């Protein structure tokens, strides 16, 4: 793929002035939020999305901005496949709500189920996964995502119980890389057949390759924005040498298109990818929305619809907050881009 054409970037004031800030309501609380905010930029190659979660500091957020600039001001790699299978995503809902959630993901034969939600128990997780298995049937793939909220003992107990439902893997069951490595050993020793996948230990780590060195995971979950773009994500996947799943960071259709570009460019793609999350939003900024059809997404650039951008425009105070964040993060992002080989 091409390098980011920083010579064609407008100056900071023009970049800030030309941004679009959107606020999109969610169908169900997810990751503790009910509204997803994003800032969208249009470059000569297409659109980019800057949407780090509001609690992230400027240093971490600058990776997300580097990814947005890469998307708008460089080319993506040539795809190796013309379609990417994606999974349904089931938030931490009650079992009776599971069928309605799954209905939003046309043709998906794999589901990622959120577990370890604060305020809920392992019993709640088991009931939710059981409902997904009942709704999807015995041939469906099911994976769970704990977002690092379990300690080691809880993870072992929970996965022993959840393994009865035939899990593809457990995503970030514990917080640290050392805990993941110990968990893999304990699961094997106890005869619990569940793969371990690393997410936060890749995308939030100063040294994402430590997961592979310590044999702490069987699968790596990668997200374009937190890793700084499609190019850096490809490099990390190659260096890890583990099967990869490309997932979203609760992106709009603009960010999802970058994730699909990454997934389509991978030499090998064993698992369905977590790129169907636009279905968790009330509406997208792209028409038609970037949601799976018959369980698939197809690589290609997308362009936001002007009417949808206008409809989703953030309130004035939030618009200003995001523009100020963009201005603060821009020097850090440009420094990241300058340091790339």
Q: pLDDT of 150-189, one tens digit each?
A: 999 999 999 999 999 999 999 999 999 999 999 999 999 9
Is the confidence at residue 3, as pLDDT, over 90? no
Judge contact between 274 and 247, C-beta under 8 A: yes
Active site residue 204: no
- Which of the four pLDDT bands, split at 50, 70 and 90, describes residue 306? very high
Per-residue model confidence as pLDDT tens digits over 206-247: 788 899 999 999 999 999 999 999 999 999 999 999 999 999
Q: Identify whether the C-beta of residue 62 lies closer than 8 Å to the C-beta of residue 76.
A: no
Question: Binding residue per annotation — 171?
Answer: yes
Does the pLDDT value for residue 25 go beyond 70?
yes
Backbone angles phi, psi at 144, to 5 degrees: -120, 155
Quick one: tokens of 144?
């769970």
> What pLDDT, on the 0 to 100 scale, is given for residue 98?
98
pLDDT at 8: 87
Give me the pLDDT at residue 1, please: 65
Q: How far apart are CA 285 and CA 116, in angstroms?
A: 31
- How far apart are alpha carbons 60 and 333 in whole angstroms? 10
Residues 225, 49: contact at Cβ < 8 Å? yes
pLDDT at 329 over 70: yes
Of residues 112, 114, 185, 204, which has the active-site annotation?
Answer: 114
Position 60 scores a pLDDT of: 95
Written in H, E and C, the secondary structure of the chain is CCCCCHHHCCCHHHHHHCCEEEEEEEEEEECCEEEEEEEEEEECCEEEEECCCCCCCHHHHHHHHHHHHHHHHCCCCCCCCCCEEECEEECCCCHHHHHHHHCCCCCCCEEEEECCCCCCCHHHHHHHHHHHHHHHCCCCEEEEECCCCCCHHHHHHHHHHHHHHCEEEEECCCCCHHHHHHHHHHHHHCCCCCEEEECHHHHCCCCCCHHHHCCCCCEEEECCHHHCCHHHHHHHHHHHCCCEEEECCCCCHHHHHHHHHHHHHCCCCCCCEECCHHHHECCCCCCCCCCCECCEECCCCCCCCHHHHHHCECCHHHHHHHHHHHHHHHHHHHHHHHCCC
223 is known as an active-site residue:
yes
pLDDT band at 205 (very low <50, low <70, confident <90, very high): low
Tell me: pLDDT of 341 over 80: no
Q: Which of 112, 185, 204, 223 is catalytic?
A: 223
User: For position 203, what pLDDT does the model report?
Assistant: 76
Quote the pLDDT of residue 172: 96
Q: State the Cα–Cα distance between residues 243 and 77, nearest whole angstrom.
A: 19
Instruction: Give the per-residue pLDDT at 263.
Output: 98
Say what the pTM is.
Answer: 0.93
Using CA atoms, how far apart are residues 310 and 300, in angstroms rounded to an integer?
A: 23
- Is residue 2's pLDDT more than 80? no
Q: How much of the chain, in percent, has pLDDT values that exceed 90? A: 90
pLDDT band at 33; cut points 50, 70, 90 = confident
Region of residue 323 (left: phi > 0; alpha: psi -120 to 50; beta: else): alpha
Q: What residues have CB less than 8 Å from 91, skipping those under 6 apart? A: 28, 29, 30, 101, 114, 280
**CB count, 10 Å around CB of 163?**
15
Q: Structural domains in the chain?
A: 6-76+306-338 (3.30.390.10), 84-297 (3.20.20.120)
Q: What pLDDT band is residue 124 in, cutting at 50, 70 and 90?
A: very high
115 neighbors 128 (Cβ within 8 angstroms)? yes
Annotated ligand binding at 200? The verdict is no
For 288, other C-beta atoms within 10 Å of its C-beta total 10
């Amino acid at each position: 793929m091409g390098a980011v054409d920083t010579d064609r970037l407008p100056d900071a004031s023009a970049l800030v002035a030309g941004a679009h800030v959107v606020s999109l309501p969610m169908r169900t609380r997810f990751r503790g939020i009910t509204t997803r905010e994003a800032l969208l930029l249009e470059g000569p190659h297409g659109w980019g999305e800057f949407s780090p979660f509001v609690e992230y500091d400027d240093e971490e957020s600058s990776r997300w901005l580097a990814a947005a600039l890469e998307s708008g001001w460089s080319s993506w790699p040539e795809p190796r496949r013309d379609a990417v299978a994606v999974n349904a995503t089931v938030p931490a809902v009650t079992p009776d709500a599971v069928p309605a959630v799954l209905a939003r993901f046309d043709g998906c034969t794999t589901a990622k189920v959120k577990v370890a939600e604060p305020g809920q128990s392992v019993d709640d997780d088991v009931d939710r996964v059981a409902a997904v298995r009942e709704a999807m049937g015995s041939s469906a793939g099911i994976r769970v995502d704990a977002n690092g909220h379990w300690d080691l003992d809880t993870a072992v107990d929970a996965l022993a119980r959840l393994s009865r439902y035939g899990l593809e893997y457990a995503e970030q069951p514990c917080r640290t890389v050392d805990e993941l490595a110990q968990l893999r050993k304990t699961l094997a020793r106890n005869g619990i057949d569940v793969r371990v996948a690393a997410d936060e230990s890749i995308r939030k780590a100063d040294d994402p390759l430590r997961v592979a060195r310590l044999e702490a995971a069987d699968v790596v979950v990668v997200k374009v924005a937190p890793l700084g773009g499609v190019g850096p994500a490809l490099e990390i996947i190659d260096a890890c040498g583990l099967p990869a799943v490309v997932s979203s960071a609760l992106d709009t259709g603009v960010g999802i298109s970058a994730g699909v570009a990454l997934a389509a460019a991978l030499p090998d793609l064993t698992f369905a990818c977590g790129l169907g999350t636009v279905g968790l939003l009330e509406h997208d900024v792209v028409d038609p929305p970037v949601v799976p059809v018959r369980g698939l997404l197809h690589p290609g650039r997308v362009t936001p619809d002007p009417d949808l951008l206008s409809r989703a425009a953030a309130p004035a105070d939030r618009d200003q907050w995001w523009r100020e964040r963009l201005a603060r993060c821009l020097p850090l992002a440009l420094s990241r881009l300058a340091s790339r080989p």
